[in-house]
Amino acid sequence: MKSHSLQLNHQDQGYWFVVNRGKLKLTAESLSIPFGAWQQQQINDPEMICHIGEWQQQPCYLVVSNDQQQADEWYSARTLLEKTEPVWFELAARACQLALFLQSHRYCGQCGNKMQLVSWELAMLCHKCGHRCYPRISPCVLVAIKKDQQILLARSKRHKPGFFSILAGFVESGETLEQAAAREVYEEVGVRIQNLRYVGSQPWPFPHSLMAGFLADYQSGDIVCQEDEIEEAGWFHFDDLPEIPPIQTLSGRMIRQLQHETSTAA
């Protein structure tokens, strides 16, 4: 994929979201997105460059790279969650997801011919058979469950000991978000829920999820952890919570929202 979707001049200026194998290139001093002229970026042989948005009237570019130099400059998009302005994580999430899309759709899934990024929309097109692909989005539900003054939190095998979050799972074909929420909760911890209400959403670039958050009330059932998925789970009092996700994440905001609602109602 050596053809560029954009032809840049050396003096073209903007923010550069350089993605390499799911990692972002950040400045060494402030761990921020590089800004400046294209010639200053010193990116060796980029695979593709495309425009992904603007910030403060400056263009933002995605640069797909295979450059393995200076490995200490590559970071997970999670690093930008701690930035004061959430736009940096949002743009980084978009860049990482689009980079994966471009790299995984080099060839047509129908005829095997090379695909090209079209200029009029964000899609890869096979000019031989006409097959067109758009960036993949995998919907995932998050569910924060309240029972009196407690919240149900769980730790998956991927999380470190002592770190807990709310339940999550991918939506299956033919399901509504609400059906997926009820199914995932029952499968993962054996609990039935009621009074499901939508909170909000957040793109999550690990690798291409869209998180949809719900609050729910406990209905029935005892906690039985799903094998090979949930390491431990339990009811935690809002005054004595374990380590939870940061507030910049949707799951972290939901836990704190339910905590605030419970304390206000008490």
DSSP codes of every residue in 216-248: EEEEE----PPTTTEEEEEEEETTS--B---TT
The CA–CA distances, whole Å, from 132 to 1, 47, 51, 265 equal: 16, 20, 19, 52
From the candidate CATH numbers 3.90.79.10, 3.40.50.1220, 3.40.1350.10, 2.30.110.10, the one assigned to the domain spanning 138-265: 3.90.79.10
Tell me what the mean pLDDT of segment 42-57 comes to.
84
Is the pLDDT at 194 greater than 70? The verdict is yes
Q: The domain at 13-104 falls in which architecture?
A: Alpha-Beta Complex (3.90)
For the chain, the maximum distance between any two Cα atoms, rounded to a whole number of angstroms, is 65
Using the predicted structure, report yes or no on whether residue 1 has a pLDDT greater than 50: no
* Range in 9-18, 119-128, 147-156, 250-259 with the lowest mean pLDDT: 9-18
- Run of H or E residues at 147: strand 138-147
Most confident of 32-36, 120-124, 138-142: 138-142
Instruction: Look at the alpha carbons of 155, 158, 163, 167 in this order and tell me if their dihedral is positive or negative.
Output: negative
Burial of 263 (0-12, 13-18, 19+ CB in 10 A): exposed
Inter-residue contact 118 to 124 (CB < 8 Å): yes
pLDDT at 47: 83
Identify the bridge partners of residue 141 per DSSP, sorted by sequence position: 169, 212
Q: Structural domain boundaries of the chain? A: 13-104, 138-265
Helices (H), 60-124: 87-104
Average pLDDT score over residue span 163-178? 96
Average pLDDT over residues 82-89: 80
Q: Provide the pLDDT confidence category of residue 181 given band limits of 50, 70 and 90.
A: very high
* β partners of residue 213: 142, 200
Position 6 scores a pLDDT of 56
Q: Residue 3: pLDDT above 50?
A: no
Q: Write down the pLDDT at residue 129.
A: 96
CA distance 88 to 205: 13
Domains 13-104 and 138-265 agree in fold:
yes
Task: Kindly state the DSSP code that residue 107 receives in the 8-state scheme.
Answer: B
- Residue with the larger pLDDT of the pair 219 and 103: 219
Under the phi-then-psi rule, with left for phi > 0, alpha for psi from -120 to 50, and beta for the rest, what region is 137?
beta
Q: What does the chain come to in residues?
A: 266
Distance separating alpha carbons of residues 220 and 4, to the nearest angstrom: 56
Q: Are the C-beta atoms of 23 and 75 separated by less than 8 Å?
A: yes
Give CA–CA dist 217/169, Å, rounded.
18
> In the predicted model, what is the mean pLDDT of the chain?
89
